[in-house]
Amino acid sequence: MPKITVGLDISEDTVTAVQVKSLMQGYEITGCASVPITEAGGVSLALQAVCEELDPKGSACISVIPDGRVSLRNVTMPFTDLKKIRQTLAFELETIMASPVEEQLNDFIVLDQTTSESSLMAGSVNRSYLTEHLAIFEPFGVEPEIFDIRNAPLVNQLLVQKDTPDNGLFLYLGSRKSTMILFLDRKIALIRQLSFEGHGLADVAAKASRREKQEGFDSERLEAGLISLCRSVNLTLQGFRAETGRNERPEILFVTGPGTLVSQSVEVLNRSLDLPVRVSGLKDSANIQINDHLASLWNASLMDNSLALALRDAKKGRNFNFRQEEFQIKTQFVKLKKELIHASVFLIIIGILLAVNLGIDYVDLKKRTADLDSRVKGIFSQTFPEVKNIVEPMHQMKTKIEDLKKSSGAAPGMNANMKVLDLLADISERVAKDLKIKVERMVVDQDGIQIKGTTDTFNTVDSIKKGLEESTLYRDVVIASANLDRKGNEVRFEIKMQRGQ
């Protein structure tokens, strides 16, 4: 029986679904729908409309975590085994995360591997948010089997097409956000979300979803937003080259999203980035079929991400999936009965082959295991040189980290009632946004806070002091110093205050 999969994409502008049936050779698009997200109805109302138009019940469903909810970081791990990477990834991310690692669910994709290490892109999603996000599907009887991040599956689909160059750039143009993905040597190398003022694009997407004619669009404001976006793209590329030393240049720019529904966008991007621009079009792939009726409803700019989800490769390490641990989908035995019957036959064959393979490769695997154990012990020794008796390095490392966590409660600036991030947020709210301030140094300890910086006038320094005095978190707010700099253009100031609790 052919497998039917629904790709359900949730962007800032629309909820889009594409239903695909797998054939002996290729795929067939059997349904598509796109509904705009309104301020009154939100995501839930748009999702309800999509489910009524294209019923996903009984189909495998793959969806996404919306833009801005996934924190992405490039990291390098001294392992090549995916299981070991997954076991130790949280420890690697803990030192660079703004919130406790226990509150985050982590996953990764492999960017590159050598014989001894792996370059990864790690993604983190807040567990509380993931619970809320799952809840919006429940009223409609839909349970996505996979939560990927937006746009990455689409880029992976573009990379398997023969006419795609080895090095290139991808941009998703939404009404308020843009996603940039750099691929080098036909592998994703960088994913960044950039701010983008797509003036009027939300209305453009809504009209396209309703298949209405586009009229009265202000292309001049959009052009200014695109030019600003291109500057951010170039700066991001320069930073990536400086950090990694990789100087490969993109050969093409793929674009999708509501911004590509405006014809001038392609010309502005081509001129600003000096790259040939191609609007993505997965439907035109040779192994994808679609009937005339659905072809008349198809809009690649809105639906390509959903189609890419439905065609998503299940290979581990190539795509993100945040349905793990307590969020892993619970499948019933009845749904798996037929698959288990077929799988049992393959398991017998695989078991025989594994037995032969284990006998042949036992010596080699033993050497590799010994080498990896030696590396783990080496890392442990470098991190904790005071420990001489190393028996179980992983267990000992976890114990040491727990001890450090317990001892960190007495560290300067930290206590159980108030975190440094809470203090910074309060200071940001108390200082008026229209004041011209450049903070050069901030010291937070158990007793007080010291802020040094420059501003335009002495009155501004007084305004900062008055704003901070209104908070219950500080007391004895004083201006320790306020002097003109050598050029006489700016006022250098220092403000000290005591912690209120």
Q: Of 416 and 473, which is predicted with more confidence? A: 473
pTM for the full predicted model: 0.65
Q: What is the pLDDT of residues 69-85, one digit of tens each?
A: 899 988 999 988 888 99
Please give the average per-residue pLDDT across 16-34, as a whole number: 91
CB count within 10 Å of CB 419 equals 15
Q: Of 268 and 357, which is predicted with more confidence? A: 268
Beta strands in 66-186 (DSSP E): 71-77, 104-113, 118-126, 146-149, 168-173, 177-184
Q: Confidence band (pLDDT; 50, 70, 90) for 336?
A: low
- pLDDT (0 to 100) of residue 384: 78
Distance from C-alpha of 96 to C-alpha of 70, rounded to nearest angstrom: 15
Distance from C-alpha of 125 to C-alpha of 322, rounded to nearest angstrom: 8
Please give the average per-residue pLDDT across 482-491, as a whole number: 86
Q: Which CATH superfamily includes the segment(s) 420-499? A: Ribosomal protein S6/Translation elongation factor EF1B (3.30.70.60)
Q: DSSP characters for 14-25? A: EEEEEEEEE-SS
Let me know: does 13 contact 256? Beta carbons within 8 Å.
no
Q: Is the pLDDT of residue 273 over 90?
A: yes
State CA 68 to chain mean position distance.
7
Distance from C-alpha of 68 to C-alpha of 482, rounded to nearest angstrom: 40
List the one residue out of 415, 432, 419 whose CA is nearest residue 468: 432
Q: Is the pLDDT of residue 6 over 90?
A: yes
Cβ neighbors of 227 (< 8 A, separation 6 or more) are 268, 272
State CA 31 to chain mean position distance.
28
Q: What is the CATH number of domain 4-327?
A: 3.30.420.380
Tokens of 104: 């985050």
Q: Confidence band (pLDDT; 50, 70, 90) for 20?
A: very high
325 to 106, 137, 321, 322: CA distances (angstroms): 10, 19, 11, 9
Q: What is the pLDDT of residues 277-288, one digit of tens each?
A: 999 988 887 689
- pLDDT (0 to 100) of residue 271: 93
State CA 249 to chain mean position distance.
23
What percent of the chain stands above pLDDT 70? 93
- pLDDT (0 to 100) of residue 334: 39
Cβ neighbors of 356 (< 8 A, separation 6 or more) are none
Q: Helix (H, G, I), strand (E, B), or coil: what is residue 415?
A: coil
Q: Is the pLDDT of residue 276 over 90?
A: yes
> What amino acid occupies position 74?
N
4-327 and 420-499 agree in CATH topology? no
19 to 8, 28, 51, 283, 458: CA distances (angstroms): 9, 9, 11, 12, 63
CB hemisphere CA count around 292 (13 angstroms) = 0
Q: Give the torsion sign (CA, 160, 161, 164, 165).
A: positive
Distance from C-alpha of 301 to C-alpha of 17, rounded to nearest angstrom: 13
219 to 10, 210, 279, 487: CA distances (angstroms): 26, 21, 18, 44
Q: Is the pLDDT of residue 158 over 70?
A: yes
Q: What is the pLDDT of residues 439-466, one digit of tens each?
A: 999 888 777 889 999 999 999 989 988 8
Q: Is the pLDDT of residue 493 over 50?
A: yes
Q: DSSP characters for 171-186? A: EEE-SSEEEEEEEETT
Q: Is the pLDDT of residue 430 over 70?
A: yes
Q: What are the structural domain ranges in the chain?
A: 4-327, 333-410, 420-499
Q: Of 284 and 124, which is predicted with more confidence? A: 124
Q: What is the pLDDT of residues 221-242, one digit of tens each?
A: 888 889 999 999 999 999 999 9
DSSP state for residue 163 in the 8-state scheme:
T
Q: Is the pLDDT of residue 7 over 90?
A: yes
